[in-house]
Structure formats: C-alpha cells, structure tokens
Amino acid sequence: MLRIDRRLIAHFDWALLAAVLLVIACGLLTVLSATHGPTRLVSPLFVRQAMWAGIGLVGLLAAISFDYHWLERYGYFVYAGALVLLALTAVAGTSGGGARRWIALGPVSLQTSEFVKLGLVVALARALHRHVGERRLTWRNLAVPILLTLPPAALILKQPDLGTAIVVLAAAGAVLLVAGLPLRWVVLAASLVAPFLPMAWHHLKPYQQRRVLTFIDPQADPLGSGYHIIQSKIAIGSGMFGGKGFLNGTQNRLNFLPEQHTDFIFAVFAEEWGFVGACVVVALYTALLLRCFLVATRARDPFGLLLAFGVTAVIFTQVLVNVGMATGSLPVVGITLPFFSYGGSSLLTSMFAVGLLLNISMRRFTF
Amino acid sequence: MIELTQREVVPLVLRRRVAVALALSLVGLLMLLGRLWYLQVLHGEDMRLLSESNRIRLHRVQATRGTVLDRAGRVLIDSRPSFDAVLVPEDTRHVEETIENLAHLLGQSSADMHSLLTQATSRPAFEEITVRRDLSWDELVALETHQLDLPGVSLQITPRRKYPLGTMLAHLLGYVGEASPQELAADPRYRMGDLVGKTGLEKRWEKNLRGINGGQQVEVDAVGRKLRVLREVEETPGDTIKLTIDLDLQYAAAHALGDRNGAVVALDPTTGAILAFVNNPSFDPNVFARGVRPDEWRALSTDKHHPLTDRATQGQYPPGSTFKIVVATAAIEEGVVNPFTRIYCPGGLQFGNHYFRCWKKGGHGAMNLHDALVNSCDVYFYQVAQRLGIDTIAAYARRFGLGLPTGIDLEHEKAGTIPDTAWKRARMKQPWYAGETLSNAIGQGYVTATPLQLANMIAAAAVGTRYRPHFVKQVETPEGEVIYTEQPEALGALGVRPTTAKQVRDALRDVVNAPQGTGKKARLKNVEVAGKTGTSQVVKLGQKRLKAAQVAWAHRDHAWFVAYAPFDAPRIAVAAIVEHADGGGGAIAAPLVREVLEAYFHLDPDGKTDAYAQNRSSPDRTF
C-alpha cells in the first residue's frame, strides 16, 4: 500500500518530523512526572500514553502514505464520518466530569471532537479551494463553509466542551479569512452579534460563566473556581529560572495542580524545568509553527495550502489558548496542549495532522 | 487530469494571508514568552514562596508536661497521650460536607461545629481548629475509617494531664487549663489551646513543668494530608518535680480526717518541708484538666462546704487553746511568771462586768504555768494575759509566724489575724479594751490562723526556729540533671532563752503524756509526742457550754490539735483541725493526729497501715 517514491523521500520535511517528535518526547516525560506516585514512577497512564504515541506514529505514517488529493475527492465523506461519530457520542457517549465527550470502543474511549476538528478542516479546504483567488469570497461561497462549521460546533458546545468549540470556530474562521473572507464582514458580523452576547451569556453553563468571571478576578474565590488559575500560576512561577527539577515539582506532586496531566500539563513542565525549559518548549513549538506555515505557503495548490493552513490553525489555536490559560492570560477552557497533554485521541489526531502536513510538503512538486 | 493547470495556480494573495497569520501566531508565542518571563523570572521568588507555603505547614508538637512525684518517686501528676480531631478548612473545598460528616460521626449537631468555625475567624490561614478534644476510642476508629469523607480533618496527638490521685492533694497540686486570652497575650510561647497551669504547683512551677514545644515542618498535599516531615525540632518535656510529700503519710492523714471537713498539715520542723497536706472536702483536678462544664463549675463554686477553698492555707480559724503556746512562751520570757508562780482557778474570772469562764466549770484550783498548759486552764492565761498586755502577746505571736503569711509557694495564702492596739485602731477606729485581751489570749476573739500557720507554730516551738514551708524537694531536667534542690529557709529564730523554750516544751510533752493532759489521746507507745489541744468557738453561746450534740452543726466548735514528735529530736510537726466537730480538740483532733504520727513512725497498733497500703495501690480512690 505504501509506495516508496524516491522523490517523495527527497522532499520529506525531516525538520518538521524532528520538531514534533521532540515535543512528544517532552510531553511523555511530563506525563510521567504528572502521573507518578510516591511509590511507583511509571503509572499505567504513562504506559497508555506511550502506547498512544506509538499508535500516533502509525497514524502519522498512514497520513503520508496516500496522496492528499484523495482527500480533495473524499473530503466530505471524511467530514461526514467524523460528524456521525460526534453525533453518536452525543447519543451513546460516556460521561466524564459532567460532560459527554467520549465514545467507548472496546478497551479505549475516543474523544470524537478531536477527529471532527480534522474532518472539518478537510471539508473546508474542499469547499473553498476552488473559490480562492485574487477576488474576495462572495456570500454564495460562504454558505457551504458556514453550514459545514455549525453542526460540529453546536454538537461540541452541547457536550459541553466550550474549549474545543472555540478551537473549531477559531480554526474555521482562520481558514475562511485566509481563503478571502473580507475582514470588514467579520467586523460587521461582530457588531451585529455583540448586542446578543448578554443572551449568549445566559446560555453558558454556570461553571462556564464562573470561569470567565474568575479569569477577570481569580482572587474572588481562591478555593473555588479561581483555584485552577492561581495554582497553575504558582506552579509555573515557582519554577523560576531553572526549575525545581524533574519529578520535583511540588505543586504537581502534591496535587495542588488540578488536571495536571491533561489541561494543565504545561504548568507541570514549567514548574520542573523553569523558564529555561519553558523557552525550549516554546522554541520547539515555534520551529514547528514555522515548518507548518512553510508547508502551507509552499503547497502546490490551493487545496493543499488551505488544508495545511487549517491543520496548522487547529494545532496552534490550541497551543496558544492552552499555554495562555495555564499562565493565567486567558480564561480556563478545557483544551489539551497538542503533543503534550495526556489523551490518546488528542495525540493521535495531532500526529495524524502532522502526517497530513508532511504529506502536503513532500508532494509539493509531484503531479 | 484536466484540472492539472488549474491546480498549479496558488494565488499569491493566499500565500500573503498565510504569512500574516504566521506573523500573528509568532506575536502570540512571543507574548506567551513574555508572560512566562513575567511569572517565572520577575515574580519567580514570590511564586516559589507561595508554592512553599502551599505545601509546608508548621506543626507545633506540644511538649509533655513534667511529671510530679512524691518524695519516694511515686507519681502524683502524669501525662497521657490523647487524640484531638482538628480541621483545616482551607484543605477542603467542601467545608460544609466535611462538617456534616464530622458532626454525624461524632454525634454532635453540625450547628455546634459551625459555631466553632465562626469563633475561629481571626486565626491565621491554615491553622488548625480543634473540633473535638480527647476522642474516645470509638470516635477515633470512626474518624480513621471515614478519613476519605473528611477532607481537611486530621488527628493530632496531644499530651493530656492526668491526676491519678483525684481529689487528694488537689489544692496543692493545682490543675491545668487552656491558656486564657490574657495568658496568651502575656507569653508569646503560648498558642491557642495550650495547657497552662492555673493554680497550685501547676501554676507556680509552670516554667519548669511546661517544657519546650517542638515543631515540625510537614509537607502536605492539596487536601492537607501529611506526607512527610521535612524538618523537626524535637520537643523537650517538662522537668520532673519531686515533692517533699510522703504519699503514705498523705493517705494516712486523709484517712484520719475521713469525711469530716477540715485540714491536716504535717511538716518537717527542721526544714519546713511539707510531708502531708490534706483538705476536705476537695475537688478533682481532672475535671478542670479536661475542661470544666458550666454545671460542674456551678456545683463546685456554690457548694456550701467550699471544696475549692484550700483550708490549709486559706482557712482562717480561731486557734483556740493552741494559742496558749504563744502566751506561755511570752509569759516566761517576759518574766511575768516564773515556774513556781501559782494562780488559782475557780472556774472563771470576773473582769469588769463580764465573767470569763474556764472550760472546766469546777475550776482547776491553784496551778503553775506547766500545769496550766497541761490542763489548758483558761483562767491562768486570763491572768497572765493581763500582765503581758495584747501588744506583747501579738509580738510573740508574730515570732511564731502568726499574723503573716508563711511564705509557702501557693497563691492566695491568708495571713490570719493577730490583733494588737494599733491593729484595732486602724481596723475599727476603736481603742483596745482590756477585756478583749483575755479572750484573745485563749485564741478566741479576733485571733485567727490557718492550719499551715499552726503547723509552723508548733514546729517553731519544737526546734526554736521557724522555716518557710515548702513542698518542692527537687527539680530534675529530662536529661536527669538536678537543677533545684530544696534549701531550708530559716525565717527567724524564736529568740527566747533556752530555759523558756524548755519549760514550754516540757509542758507540751505532758499535755500528751501526763495522766491529766488534755491531749493524752495522741499518746504513742514508743515515741514521745508533744502537743496542744484547742477547741475554738465558732459563735458565742452564752454562759453555758453545751454538748456538741445539742448544737446545730454549723455552730459547733472546731477541734484543733497541734503536735510534734519525737519530743527530744523533732522530725514531724502536725496541725489538724476538724471543723464543727463532735467534741473538743482532745477528743476529736488528738486521736486524728495520733493516727498520722503512727503512720509516720510506722507503728501499726491495729493494722491500719495495711489499709494505707491498699489505698496506695488504688490511687484513684478518694476520701
């Protein structure tokens, strides 16, 4: 199935792959630290995550094994498949932490909203690539992308998973803007929507409302909803310049940090490795970002460009929002740090996405 | 592949937009870096401090208070470990739930628990609130097994004071209680909930007994569970204090007094060391150590028998005829009588318009000073007192330590009263009437003294020197270093000629040993005892002396006996009072003192010491 083409290997973006693998290695190390107990270093969670990294590698290889133009043809089917899974989750999913986000598949449970992110990006690229050009998008061009975006966003919001919904909307918005959505329309839309924001506020769950309020003033309820932000900031800050050392983060080890191996994993890392370590990780993500954008700009055709950009937008919205949230710069919304956080679906999706980028990159000269 | 040509075209504007997006993303990453710099480098120190205070708690480890022993090393006060339930509200995000569960497990209303919490509003963050002291075994097990339902709750081992003797010696030993706000303010070493000596030895020797509290830096996790001790300063237990009290003698004296109200004090006349110190009624210091309940306090403080009063040092009684020791000494020393001076006792003395009775209605006939003391003849002393005058009598009384505190290391010691002309003028704005001298000379009227003062008086009569009564024999640090040893402190010699002292002592010996002596019931088979009886009137009962049984209990006389032994080399001096007794000092107090002396000299006339031995093996027994 996998045809090795010498030309493909010649154009393979080894730097991108290396950057990703390094970030994943850092992530695994941090998951190890975040889940180790007083008596045992290697937790079952770490083993699981390592397994998922292996599966992710297979996913990555799978994502480069075919010509990405195949996605141009079958993009809507991919999207439909992901959406069906998401809808199934809404009906038959398993709950965790008050939200129905997972669907059980034998021994593993999948977070289907992760897959739908990619599905949507593929579908958007499929819908838009023929209409891009020197001219701006028209209303007619916009109808399909918006119709594609709303169902998954609504389903995810319903779970409820505000974080992923924001990522989906932000990535879709970014793709639309790159595809030629006039900025003034966005401004217009925003000014139309703004009066209805108070109504939307009432539709937020109380815990989501609290999170936004807490972001504005974390000290208002330091043991309640402000707890996450305060403890995460303390963890990161207390790492100081050089960090407390691997496995020595007290905020992490003593469970002052909430959700330390998922949403707040960056705080665990920054506590143990300090500003130096945080800079290394940010540098790795920056390298990754540069390579991703390079893939997008070098893409051979608009479809490749939009797909590469969409995938990149999905990954980096998450990076910025997650680290912003851990450092107390953004409200707490539960999203994972790509390649870093514990979570199989997230890791698999992110690695598959990187596979797609590598795919686009190495086929930039092929016909 | 007809679309081929179309495919090749990637509009430049598209690439430009991607570049703009890249630039924006880079700005975002740069802002994150700035934020990290701000948190980790600019504010790193503060955040490190916050993370340390998150995880490190200071736990005070209460020092175990010093043990108190009797002179033979038997335990008088001890400490036992106990468990308290403490709550740190910051350690749980669901305080309500925790309190609900805790209240349920301890069988207490959650409203009570809440009030505890609201009381402790001014406490520093993360300081523990004690929600229940001294948990029972069942409560302990309940809390241990439901630990998971009780985030923020932990158990704390606290040494608790134990008074195995119960009511015995309670006034001297005192008791501990939680430090009051004033005590907390006065000494920064005390923290809320610390035990502080409130009365007696526990208070006066607080500095030695309390020891030095230790501390632990404990690492806790987010729900306050203690994970490990990072640093520890060992606590130092309090010093061990050995008392001069002889527990055997103490039990013997308590047994001798029985359930009658009164006091018995025995001391070593050559040093002032207290050997036995009995008050009845008494109270149980354990009640105070665990925290006295309002109803218990009301019962104790309003009891008409005053169990909280330390009769031995605070009970001021007319000394009755025991005071004749003072008057006799003054009479000989001042030369108003000589050994051959005889005075006739017809059974009373008319003085002015008042007839002063002798206790013996028929009169004693003519007697010298010796016989007057032995028979306790009132008339003789009426006559002698007139010759001495009240001011001379008072001066001698003070030489015996009367009218001033003995200086024992107990709070609120009373001085008693030794009246003289100046005293009366100051006190009552009245001149001294000559008739008053007569009644005061036989220890009535204004004269009062505490049982401890009378023990000290007879001790001074025995050895010629007055010592400060004390009860601490030795203080030993936990390492075994002796840092204090009793130093007998002479407060003053009687300053009388040896012949004077000898005459008085000879008479006191005959009080017990002569056939007509009023104190013959204190006689021992093979130890020569000297002493003096006393029967002090509580109220003036008119001309006729009535039998005790004819008088209401509260109006009956107090029975006194003071004694020392052996006569020629005194080792023990005893003063005993029985309030509102069934008879006079000779009938009631003398046999009581004999019982004490028998125990001291290990005489066993009728197997009584076996009873003491039994008491010793069950120290909780109260009398």
- pLDDT tens-digit map of B364-392: 999 999 999 999 999 999 999 999 999 99
At residue A193, the pLDDT reads 81
Q: How far is CA A271 from CA A222, A266, A286, A320, in A?
A: 20, 8, 21, 18
Highest mean pLDDT among A174-188, B345-359, B566-580: B566-580
User: Is the pLDDT score of B54 beyond 50?
Assistant: yes
Q: B116-122 — which CB contacts under 8 Å span 24+ positions?
A: B117/B87, B117/B89
At residue A96, the pLDDT reads 64
Chain A nearest CA to B8, separation (Å)? 6
Split at pLDDT 50, 70, 90, the class of A217 is: low
Radius of gyration of chain A (CA): 21
Shortest CA distance from A271: residue in chain B:
B40
Reported as a single tens digit per residue, the pLDDT across B555-606 is: 888 999 999 999 999 999 999 999 998 888 889 999 999 999 999 998 655 4
Closest CB from A251, A282, A328 relative to B29: A282
Establish if B40 belongs to a structural domain.
Answer: no
Establish if B216 belongs to a structural domain.
Answer: yes
Buried b (16+ CB within 10 A) or exposed e, A109-121: bbbbbbbbbbbbb
Closest CB from B29, B33, B51 relative to A234: B51
The contacts of residue A362 (CB under 8 Å, 6+ apart) are A8, A9, A11, A12, A13, A64
Kindly tell me the sign of the dihedral angle through the C-alpha atoms of A60, A166, A288, A20.
negative
Q: Which residue has the tokens 């807490």?
A: A214
Closest CB from B7, B19, B50 relative to A301: B7
The CATH number linked to B511 is 3.40.710.10
Q: What is the DSSP letter of A4?
A: -
Evaluate whether B322 touches B329 at the Cβ level (below 8 Å).
no
Split at pLDDT 50, 70, 90, the class of B5 is: very low
At residue B609, the pLDDT reads 44
Sheet containing strand A94-96, strands side by side:
A94-96, A99-105, A108-111
Evaluate whether A105 touches A55 at the Cβ level (below 8 Å).
no
B263 shares a domain with B232: no
Establish if B434 belongs to a structural domain.
Answer: yes
Ramachandran sector of residue A259 (left: φ over 0; alpha: ψ -120 to 50; beta: rest): left
At residue A222, the pLDDT reads 59
SS3 labels along B285-353: HHHHHCCCCHHHHHHHHHCCCCCCCCHHHHCCECCHHHHHHHHHHHHHHHCCCCCCCCEEECCEEEECC
Give this complex's ipTM: 0.90
At residue B604, the pLDDT reads 53
User: Is the pLDDT score of B229 beyond 80?
Assistant: no
At residue A292, the pLDDT reads 93
Chain centre to alpha carbon of residue B453? 18
B444 shares a domain with B348: yes
Q: Which of B217, B236, B255 is the C-terminal boundary of a domain? A: B236
Evaluate whether A237 touches A250 at the Cβ level (below 8 Å).
no
Split at pLDDT 50, 70, 90, the class of A215 is: low
- Pick the range with the lowest mean pLDDT from A2-11, A118-127, B83-92, B118-127: B118-127
Q: Is omega for the bond preceding A160 within 30 degrees of 0, making it cis? A: yes
Q: Which of B236, B269, B285 is the C-terminal boundary of a domain? A: B236
Q: Which residue has the tokens 């130092």?
A: B236
Shortest CA distance from A279: residue in chain B:
B33
Contact (CB<8Å) A223/B227: no
Please give the residue that has the higher pLDDT: either B555 or A214: B555
Evaluate whether B619 touches B170 at the Cβ level (below 8 Å).
no
B227 touches chain A (CB under 8 A): yes
Split at pLDDT 50, 70, 90, the class of B12 is: confident
Taking alpha carbons only, the member of B254, B334, B281, B317 closest to residue B616 is: B254
At residue A248, the pLDDT reads 82
**Mean pLDDT over the full length of chain A:** 85
C-alpha to C-alpha distance for A348 and B369, rounded to whole angstroms: 118
Residue range B172-189: mean pLDDT, rounded: 87
User: Is the pLDDT score of B508 beyond 80?
Assistant: yes
DSSP line for A133-151:
SSSPPPHHHHHHHHHHHHH
B531 DSSP β-pair partners:
B563
Taking alpha carbons only, the member of B102, B63, B103, B99 closest to residue B79 is: B63
Q: How far is CA B195 from CA A141, B82, B294, in A?
A: 82, 13, 19
Establish if B48 belongs to a structural domain.
Answer: no
A235 touches chain B (CB under 8 A): yes
Contact (CB<8Å) B40/A236: yes
DSSP line for A23-90:
HHHHHHHHHHHHH--SS-SS-HHHHHHHHHHHHHHHHHHHHHHS-THHHHHHHHHHHHHHHHHHHHHH
Establish if B47 belongs to a structural domain.
Answer: no
Reported as a single tens digit per residue, the pLDDT across B407-464 is: 999 999 999 999 999 999 999 999 999 889 999 999 999 999 999 999 999 999 999 9
At residue B6, the pLDDT reads 47
Residue range A304-315: mean pLDDT, rounded: 93
Highest mean pLDDT among A153-157, A205-209, B7-11: A153-157
The domain total for chain B is: 2
- The number of beta carbons lying within 10 Å of the beta carbon of residue B349 is 20
Chain A nearest CA to B95, separation (Å)? 11
Split at pLDDT 50, 70, 90, the class of A333 is: confident
Split at pLDDT 50, 70, 90, the class of A20 is: very high
Split at pLDDT 50, 70, 90, the class of B66 is: very high
Residue B227: half-sphere exposure toward Cβ, Cα within 13 Å: 16
Establish if B10 belongs to a structural domain.
Answer: no
**Mean pLDDT over the full length of chain B:** 87
Chain A nearest CA to B12, separation (Å)? 8
B516 shares a domain with B473: yes
Reported as a single tens digit per residue, the pLDDT across A131-153 is: 887 677 777 888 889 899 999 99
C-alpha to C-alpha distance for A149 and A121, rounded to whole angstroms: 9
> Amino acid identity, residue B18?
V
B260 shares a domain with B229: no
SS3 labels along B40-64: HHHCHHHHHHHHHHHHEEEEEECCC
Q: pLDDT > 70: what percent of chain A?
A: 93
At residue B537, the pLDDT reads 84
Split at pLDDT 50, 70, 90, the class of B172 is: very high
B173 shares a domain with B286: no
Taking alpha carbons only, the member of B263, B78, B259, B250 closest to residue B615 is: B250
Contact (CB<8Å) B10/A274: no
Q: pLDDT > 70: what percent of chain B?
A: 91
Establish if B488 belongs to a structural domain.
Answer: yes
Reported as a single tens digit per residue, the pLDDT across B113-147 is: 777 777 665 565 666 778 888 888 888 888 888 88
At residue A118, the pLDDT reads 92
3-state SS assignment for residue A175 = helix
Q: What angle do CA A253, A258, A263 make, to 5 degrees?
A: 110
Shortest CA distance from B46: residue in chain A:
A238
Split at pLDDT 50, 70, 90, the class of A334 is: confident
B568 shares a domain with B430: yes
Q: Residue B535: in which H helix or E strand, if any?
A: strand B530-536
By annotation, the residues of B acting in catalysis are 321
Q: Which residue has the tokens 């009063």?
A: B309
At residue A38, the pLDDT reads 72
At residue B617, the pLDDT reads 43
Q: What is the DSSP letter of A93?
A: P
Evaluate whether A124 touches A306 at the Cβ level (below 8 Å).
yes
Q: Where are the alpha helices (DSSP H) in B378-420?
A: 378-388, 390-399
Q: Residue A126: in which H helix or E strand, if any?
A: helix A112-128
Beta strand pairing call for B75-87 and B153-162: antiparallel
Beta strand pairing call for B262-267 and B195-197: unpaired
Residue A367: half-sphere exposure toward Cβ, Cα within 13 Å: 8
Q: What is the DSSP letter of A223?
A: T
Q: pLDDT > 90: what percent of chain B?
A: 58
Q: Which of B236, B268, B285 is the C-terminal boundary of a domain? A: B236
Q: Is omega for the bond preceding A222 within 30 degrees of 0, making it cis? A: no
B458 shares a domain with B382: yes
User: Is the pLDDT score of B153 beyond 60?
Assistant: yes
Chain A nearest CA to B92, separation (Å)? 8
B220 shares a domain with B146: yes
Q: What angle do CA B457, B458, B459 make, to 5 degrees?
A: 90
Buried b (16+ CB within 10 A) or exposed e, B268-277: bbbbbbbbbb
Q: Which residue has the tokens 């990149």?
A: A312
The CATH number linked to B209 is 3.90.1310.10
User: What φ, ψ does residue B472 adopt, rounded to 5°?
Assistant: -100, 120
Q: What angle do CA B62, B67, B71 make, to 5 degrees?
A: 170
B263 shares a domain with B213: no
State the count of interchain CB pairs (< 8 A) between A and B.
Answer: 157
At residue B455, the pLDDT reads 97
Closest CB from B26, B39, B227 relative to A236: B39
Contact (CB<8Å) B41/A302: no
B285 shares a domain with B193: no
Contact (CB<8Å) B22/A255: no
Q: What is the pTM of this model?
A: 0.66
* Tokens linked to A221: 């309820």
C-alpha to C-alpha distance for B314 and B52, rounded to whole angstroms: 55
Please give the residue that has the higher pLDDT: either B50 or B60: B50
C-alpha to C-alpha distance for B558 and B63, rounded to whole angstroms: 45
C-alpha to C-alpha distance for B392 and B595, rounded to whole angstroms: 36
Establish if B429 belongs to a structural domain.
Answer: yes
Chain B CB contacts of A235 below 8 Å = 51
Evaluate whether A111 touches A151 at the Cβ level (below 8 Å).
no
B547 shares a domain with B413: yes
Please give the residue that has the higher pLDDT: either B560 or B84: B560
B426 shares a domain with B574: yes
Question: Residue B330 belongs to what domain range?
Answer: 247-617
